[in-house]
Structure 1
């Protein structure tokens, strides 16, 4: 386990124990201590806080749960892969750089370099800056998919994903130009905000490539947000090639409006 601190407070724990399907952040809290992640909820027991999860890497499931099969629907398959935490090349109180091995059927498919920083923005907000770089270590091309690319419309999840706590009322989701799950899901915007009871998350693409990925949003069924790697079609990755994404998440106390979310997103991403 790796602990992240910001402004003298513990704001996140990164779990890496053997036997986990993947490393992930939980709990993540605001500076006032309000939890903003959920782990193994009853509605989706394979949702693990915040992290990187992909339902289809060349047919291997690195998300958990059932696999969507075209013509059959969600299906229990023995196709689950594991993200192994290899070790840290850098570790500080406010962040770390780690190597991960994505393996399936006893073989490594991807080697990942994950870089994380916790940055204070003001007395009520901090930012979790996460960059992941996935390199194809096999001798053959790989591709990333999603249930949507496999035939389930609206289910283009996979990549960066954040499971928020389920509360009596669904959280409010908005971008600079849209409000609500239906309008925001599948859109591309510089940032996306999810506001719950006493907390707000603002996800922002940290580079031009990440900002072109559509947002995945759920609020009515469960509170979850992410950045879709494979939305319109499968994404190829040739041997030796690397796919990189950077997502910066503002974690704020209170309920932010659109102007406040925009200001903090800009500060968090930086130049």
Structure 2
């Protein structure tokens, strides 16, 4: 990877009015908005995202471009490095140097709709480097369903295919020696404030960060997000959970070792998130997982 250090760009502005947006609805309520062709600065690694995502009672449980990390875009697929291209946004971690601004931010571009309905959004995308080289193609499937009187479930599935004629390495900063920084894949930026992290093995970040678990839950002020690893491949991935500086939850495609994707090869992941008003106890979380995971 050629390293081109540059000065930190000026603070990017919010998306302009007119971004292409689709809405997921349940029982005549808009539960999530999907910006499928957003107008974003290159520094944020432009990509489709969900925001706002709301509980059935109307509480927003995502954050978009917060002051702490402007490249956090609600709910998205964000990968720190694909063959040297940054699809996470912001700075890139360089071994022996640390985070630095590089001219390497990629873009996820909408290609075509396969299905667009109130409860399901399915489309194809192209992941390109900053100089326009296609690296990956993607099939993405978002759907929603009621999960009880006070909860609904968001299914977020994606299949990535190597679009090049060479092996593509997918890396997190942890693969370059940044301890604990295994982020990259499905990622949810949640609202700040008091919260509780729970998983089958216990409570707190230490119980689940960098570990595999069939589910984890985050309970905030009047809401709960229950993240379910919904297919076998996703269950083999560790969770990334950060509560210092911000609240972010992700399912990590790779941690300390790069994921090597052969030419034409694919990877598929699916996370189901139960968005609930109020608390979800351990027994309820296990029951949701048994019902919603394939």
TM category (shorter chain) comes to over 0.9
Q: Is 2:37 aligned against 1:17?
A: yes
Match of 1:7 in 2: 27
Secondary structure of the residue aligned to 2:37 is coil
Q: Which residues of structure 2 form unaligned runs of 5+? A: 1-20, 41-45
When the two structures are superposed, what TM-score results if normalisation uses the length of structure 2? 0.89
Contact 1:205 1:248 in 2 (8 A): yes
Secondary structure of the residue aligned to 1:148 is helix
Q: 2:126 aligns with which of 69, 81, 101?
A: 101
Secondary structure of the residue aligned to 1:263 is helix
Q: 2:259 aligns with which of 235, 255, 260?
A: 235
Match of 1:131 in 2: 157
Question: 1:1-271 residue pairs with structure 2 within 5 A?
Answer: 1-20=21-40, 21-104=46-129, 105-167=131-193, 169=194, 171-269=195-293, 271=294
Q: Deviations over 1:48-97 (max 9, x none)?
A: 00010001001100000110000000011000000001121111110111
Work out the CA distance in 2 between the residues paired with 1:6 and 1:128. 11
Secondary structure of the residue aligned to 2:287 is helix
Aligned residues: 268
Identify which range, 12-21 or 77-86, moves more after superposition: 12-21
Contact 1:55 1:145 in 2 (8 A): yes
Aligned CA RMSD, in angstroms, stands at 1.1
Contact 1:202 1:265 in 2 (8 A): no
Identify which range, 188-197 or 256-265, moves more after superposition: 256-265
Work out the CA distance in 1 between the residues paired with 2:86 and 2:33. 25
Q: Deviations over 1:175-205 (max 9, x none)?
A: 1112101221111110011111011011111
When the two structures are superposed, what TM-score results if normalisation uses the length of structure 1? 0.96
Secondary structure of the residue aligned to 2:292 is helix
Any runs of at least 4 consecutive aligned residues in structure 1 with deviations exceeding 4 A, and if so which? none
Contact 1:11 1:30 in 2 (8 A): yes
